[in-house]
Amino acid sequence: MFSPSINPDINPEELHDQFVNQGSVVIRNFLNYDYANQLSSFFTDEMAQNWWYSVSSPGTNGSVDFIRDFPENQERILMERNHSDSIFNTGGFSYHFYRTAGDHVQGCWCKECDFRTWLRSEEVLNFLSRVSGQEISNYNTLFASKYSEGCFLSPHHDESLGKMGFVLQLTKRWMPHWGGVLHFTNDQVTEIEYSESPTFNTLTLFHIPDGKGKFHYVSHVNRGVTSVRIAYSGWYN
């Protein structure tokens, strides 16, 4: 079993100006390759399907709806996805995708718990502090996400979620025309300024100055796509 570490060729000081001026920065080959490959395999092939939760917002009950991905819940998951789509189509903020939720049992051996522990380590916090020029000392939320057919995340700016957000792409051989692309827009959400197609072992960091970051969204994964887009996401304070 390999241990996570940041690619030693990455110089965080060289990323600082872009992070502050552009509002985000993209870092290729972020993790040592063997560990990134191991982590990707865990979420794609090894982790039990029912460890995923379907999350839809707003749910039919008006709040975020977490539903375990059990066979008997598929009809309800589809209903919630359709409801989120209807909000999206009328211009409201909404999303539908799958994610992990919270820590497992104490002493859990799984690769996600191992990775979550490392994401809270001094190595990572120091790296993020050097990129941002701010003291990053804690995290808000950390979770894996899975986007399959019909999943999406509409435009938002991560208000009040922390000082910075991140997405680490763990999908191999994703095609941009399948959807699931991370887009950054202007403040009016009328123009795409740049886009980031899921690329394996690529970390994107978002600046959230004064509690309001840059608008971004993840486009719908297109109908008939059988591959899944796996990433690890969260926010730091």
Q: Assess whether 93 and 188 both reside in one domain.
A: no
Give the span between the Cα atoms of 167 and 142, in whole angstroms: 10
Residue pLDDT, tens place only, 55-77: 999 999 888 889 999 999 999 99
Residue ending a domain, choose from 99, 127, 159? 99
Which amino acid, 227? S
Q: Evaluate whether residue 121 is within a structural domain.
A: yes
Q: Assess whether 222 and 131 both reside in one domain.
A: yes
Expressed as residue numbers, the domain containing 88 is 53-99
- Specify the number of domains making up the chain: 2
Please state, as a whole number, how many other Cβ atoms lie within 10 Å of the Cβ of residue 52.
23
Q: Is the pLDDT of residue 101 over 70?
A: yes
Q: Assess whether 82 and 146 both reside in one domain.
A: no
Question: What is the per-residue pLDDT for 104?
Answer: 78
Q: Assess whether 45 and 68 both reside in one domain.
A: no
Radius of gyration of the chain (CA): 17
Q: Assess whether 188 and 133 both reside in one domain.
A: yes
Q: Evaluate whether residue 230 is within a structural domain.
A: yes
Q: Assess whether 154 and 93 both reside in one domain.
A: no
Q: Assess whether 38 and 63 both reside in one domain.
A: no
Residue ending a domain, choose from 62, 79, 99? 99
Give the span between the Cα atoms of 18 and 10, in whole angstroms: 14
Question: Taking a C-beta distance cutoff of 8 angstroms, is the pair 207, 173 a contact?
Answer: no
Q: Which of 18-22, 27-31, 148-152 has the lowest mean pLDDT?
A: 18-22
Q: Evaluate whether residue 104 is within a structural domain.
A: no
Residue ending a domain, choose from 42, 69, 99? 99
Q: Quick one: which of 126, 127, 101 has its CA closest to 116?
A: 101
Q: Evaluate whether residue 118 is within a structural domain.
A: yes
Q: Quick one: which of 74, 31, 24 has its CA closest to 50?
A: 74
pTM of the predicted model, to two decimals? 0.94
Q: Assess whether 82 and 34 both reside in one domain.
A: no
Question: Taking a C-beta distance cutoff of 8 angstroms, is the pair 24, 204 a contact?
Answer: yes
Question: What is the per-residue pLDDT for 1?
Answer: 61
Give the span between the Cα atoms of 160 and 84, in whole angstroms: 23
Question: Taking a C-beta distance cutoff of 8 angstroms, is the pair 153, 97 a contact?
Answer: yes
Q: Assess whether 76 and 142 both reside in one domain.
A: no
What stretch of H or E contains 215?
none
Cα distances (angstroms) measured from residue 98 to each of 81, 90, 157, 186, 188: 11, 23, 20, 27, 28
Q: Evaluate whether residue 6 is within a structural domain.
A: no
> Mean pLDDT in the chain?
93
SS3 210: helix
Residue pLDDT, tens place only, 157-211: 887 788 899 999 999 999 999 999 999 999 899 999 999 999 999 999 988 877 6
Query: Domain holding 170: CATH number?
Result: 2.60.120.620
Q: Assess whether 40 and 132 both reside in one domain.
A: yes
Q: Assess whether 39 and 140 both reside in one domain.
A: yes
Strand intervals (E) in the chain: 24-27, 53-57, 65-68, 95-99, 139-147, 152-156, 164-169, 182-185, 192-196, 202-207, 216-218, 229-236
Q: Assess whether 84 and 161 both reside in one domain.
A: no
Q: Is the pLDDT of residue 105 over 90?
A: no
Phi, psi angle pair for 72, to nearest 5°: -75, -10
Site of tokens 């100006």: 17
